[in-house]
Amino acid sequence: MVDAARHPRIDVRTFTEVEKVEGFVGNFKVTLREKAKYVIADRCNGCGDCARVCPIEVPNYFDMNLAPRKAAYVPMSQSVPLVYNIDLDACIHCYKCVDACGALEAIDFSQEDKLVEEDIGAMIVATGFSHFDPSVMEEYGYSRYPNVITSMEMERLNNSAGPTAGNLIRPSDNKNPQKLAFINCVGSRDKRYNPSCSNFCCMYSIKNAILLKQMNPNVDITIYYIDIRTPSKGYEEFYDRAREMGIHFSQGRPSLITEDPETHNLFVHSEDVTLGKVMEKEYDMVMLNQAAVPQPDQNHMSSVLNVAQSPGGWFMEYHPKLRPIDSPTDGVFFAGACQGPKDIPSSVAQGSAASSRASRILQSDHWEIEPTVAVVFPERCSATTRGRACGICAKACPYGAINIFSPEIPAEVVTAKCHGCGACVAECPEDAITQLHFTDAQILAQMRAVLADKPEEKILAFRCHWCSYGGADLAGTSHFEYTANERGLRVMCSARMDTDFIYEAYRLGAGAVLYSGCHPQDCHYITGQLIGAKRASRLEKIFERMKMTDGRFRVEWISAAEGDKYARVLNEMQAVLDDIPMDDLKAEIEQLKPEMSKRLKKFPGVPGVQEAMDYSDILVDAITKQKEAA
């Protein structure tokens, strides 16, 4: 940190929060809130005289509230930069600090928060993680029993720079404990709180145990665990070293901790899986190795940075295998545990990778983006035709790429921010937006081509480019057997699968339609799958009211690795068609055509659509005449 602060091209902004982010890759406008420290940084020399005379003491968050700090403070003695801060919530305005500061005159109680706007080319998000609060698990007695502490509290007590100068003591009587229990997976791998593993906790627990054993070889330590997970280089050897030092390992999650009210000793109740017995053991002190959880402001930062979150609340990467450093928003990258629990080596590696990815942007004069961007037809936008902007497109865009300036001005797409999911195109009620390379006319031409001959026998499959299209490809390369009546169309995302496409497919006489895309957690477009899923759900209800045969419209979420599922779904849809007598199927198609046509009144007016329909009609007539002649 000292080297970073002294580097001529690194600007360290402490006590500063990101207030707002606007713009796009290479051209971000970031608003920073520099919080008032009530100390003039250029004048403070870090002498600490203000803290020594301050009469107020409050719990020190850095020491896990195990020791006090003054209202004039630095978080730790190695803080960079070493500039003191006045905690105005605790300050009683006695002004002793002002007198102690003397000629430096570094303390200024008139300071206020300041908003600063910066031009940023790329951003790396490294906000880290927080810790699960074990007090909600009443069975472990944290916050009720003084000698039940967390792993971070143990870390501070065992640290030479901590509140006890590295002397591990029991909070209840300040004695050195001789028998300790460490409990792993507190709040993790637990469906009540966090079902996932926190990744580094096993090694963290073993590290603390070894450090304590090295300081006091006579201390008795037992680690309670569900499974010991030591997957990285040298980790298994570290685990073996702990066992060789005499550290005990007991497989089984403790169910209860009770306390002797006189001695404050603790009794851990658990099942020893190895012995197949329920055990109760007495300890001087218990450490809870709590789960890693997202930061409390993770939702706020997700909104500010316009990046997605996984179901567990962590920031979601663009692709877990191919682009694990990138966020779905170009120019924003992740490093460390903000993306998910990681140990130190993984965080360092990801930090190096993220800086490398960001430097590519900073050293480029131009930045290439995918050409499948959205474009507005100004003459069709309701802001132009009706004098009001509905704003549906802006709400549908997961990237904030659409601006609505006023009710009278058509919507505007910021091309550099658009990722080409097509959600705005399919959601627009006026068909006032199109997507380059996936226009309504282009998709319609493909539909009419594949349904030109015996459409009632065909299954038209709409596939998302990233997942279900890959699943279909895998089904083919893996030689899975599925119906030859399938005809597939590719779009970038299920969010682009317009209701007009589905209605037109049935109006053209398609026997069945498959609406397929990625699973929610795999979507490349943040909320694209969610938008597509809502639309598909509406279609299912509409077709149910139309009394369409169940199974002729099907919605499935298929990953690129699920070729077998793609083949199975198509075979099941073919079975549905086979069960319907052909005359009945044709009668149903004819019966539903007027309703489909009614819902497509605006479709021919979309630019390029009527031309595509006329051209495809000419081709179909030519093919029909050719067949009749043969």
Q: Give domain status of residue 305, yes or no.
A: no
Q: What is the mean pLDDT of each run of 10 residues along the chain (630 residues)?
A: 88 94 93 96 94 96 93 91 94 96 94 96 96 96 96 92 92 95 96 93 95 94 95 94 96 96 96 92 97 95 88 87 88 95 94 95 90 94 79 92 87 93 94 95 92 94 96 96 96 96 95 95 87 97 96 96 96 97 96 94 87 80 76
Cis peptide before 81 (omega within 30 of 0): yes
Q: What does the angle CA 557 – CA 503 – CA 528 come to, to the nearest 5 degrees? A: 35
Q: Are residues 551 and 431 in the same domain?
A: no
Q: Are residues 453 and 503 in the same domain?
A: yes
d(Cα 206, Cα 221) in Å, to the nearest integer? 10
Q: Are residues 273 and 321 in the same domain?
A: no
Q: Are residues 220 and 277 in the same domain?
A: yes
Q: Structure tokens of 225? A: 């665990």
Q: Give domain status of residue 215, yes or no.
A: yes
Q: Structure tokens of 332? A: 């924003």
Tell which of 437, 463, 481 closes a domain.
437
Q: What does the angle CA 211 – CA 214 – CA 218 come to, to the nearest 5 degrees? A: 115
Q: Indicate the number of domains in the chain.
A: 5
pLDDT of residue 28: 95
244: CATH: 3.50.50.60
Q: What does the angle CA 334 – CA 335 – CA 338 come to, to the nearest 5 degrees? A: 80
Measured CA to CA in angstroms, residue 387 lies from 38, 130, 383, 393, 404 at distances of: 51, 49, 5, 16, 13
Q: Are residues 122 and 140 in the same domain?
A: no
Q: Are residues 459 and 593 in the same domain?
A: yes
* Closest by CA position to 603, among listed 507, 512, 464: 507
Q: What is the 3-state secondary structure (H, E, C) of 38-60?
A: CECCCCCCCCCHHHHHCCCEEEC
d(Cα 253, Cα 184) in Å, to the nearest integer? 8
Q: Are residues 375 and 329 in the same domain?
A: no
Query: Residue 368: helix, strand or coil by DSSP?
Result: coil
Q: How many CA atoms lie within 13 A of 627 on its CB side?
A: 9
d(Cα 538, Cα 139) in Å, to the nearest integer? 46
Q: Are residues 490 and 456 in the same domain?
A: yes
Q: Give domain status of residue 196, yes or no.
A: yes
Q: In what order do the strands lie in the sheet with 486-491?
A: 486-491, 459-464, 512-517, 553-557
Q: What is the 3-state secondary structure (H, E, C) of 179-211?
A: EEEEEEEECECECCCECCCCCCHHHHHHHHHHH
Q: Are residues 559 and 580 in the same domain?
A: yes
Q: Where are the beta strands (DSSP E) in 284-438?
A: 285-290, 292-293, 332-334, 374-376, 402-403, 412-413, 433-435
Q: Are residues 326 and 376 in the same domain?
A: no
* Closest by CA position to 524, among listed 465, 473, 471, 475: 465
pLDDT of residue 384: 75
420: CATH: 3.30.70.20
d(Cα 576, Cα 609) in Å, to the nearest integer? 32
Q: Are residues 200 and 275 in the same domain?
A: yes
Tell which of 127, 158, 183 closes a domain.
127
Q: Are residues 278 and 136 in the same domain?
A: yes
d(Cα 341, Cα 365) in Å, to the nearest integer? 35
Tell which of 437, 453, 470 closes a domain.
437
The pTM for the full model equals 0.84
Q: Where are the beta strands (DSSP E) in 402-551?
A: 402-403, 412-413, 433-435, 459-464, 486-491, 512-517
Measured CA to CA in angstroms, residue 617 lies from 226, 448, 533, 605 at distances of: 66, 8, 32, 17
**Residue 80 sits in which domain range?**
2-127
Q: Give domain status of residue 300, yes or no.
A: no
Intra-chain end-to-end CA distance of the chain, in Å: 81
Instruction: Work out the number of other CB atoms within 10 angstroms of the CB of residue 110.
Output: 6
Helix spans in 376-439 (H):
382-385, 392-396, 423-427
pLDDT of residue 587: 96
pLDDT of residue 367: 87
Beta carbons of 230 and 184 less than 8 angstroms apart: no
Cβ contacts of residue 127 below 8 Å, gap of 6+? 295, 298, 301, 338
Q: Give domain status of residue 480, yes or no.
A: yes
Q: Give domain status of residue 343, yes or no.
A: yes
pLDDT of residue 412: 93
pLDDT of residue 405: 83
d(Cα 93, Cα 50) in Å, to the nearest integer? 13
249: enclosing H helix or E strand: strand 248-251
Q: Give domain status of residue 301, yes or no.
A: no
Q: Which long-range contacts (CB under 8 A, 24 or more apart) does 162-168 make?
A: 162/63, 162/66, 162/67, 163/60, 163/63, 163/66, 163/67, 166/215, 168/212, 168/215
Q: Give domain status of residue 262, yes or no.
A: yes
Beta carbons of 410 and 376 less than 8 angstroms apart: yes
Q: In what order do the strands lie in the sheet with 27-34?
A: 16-24, 27-34, 114-120
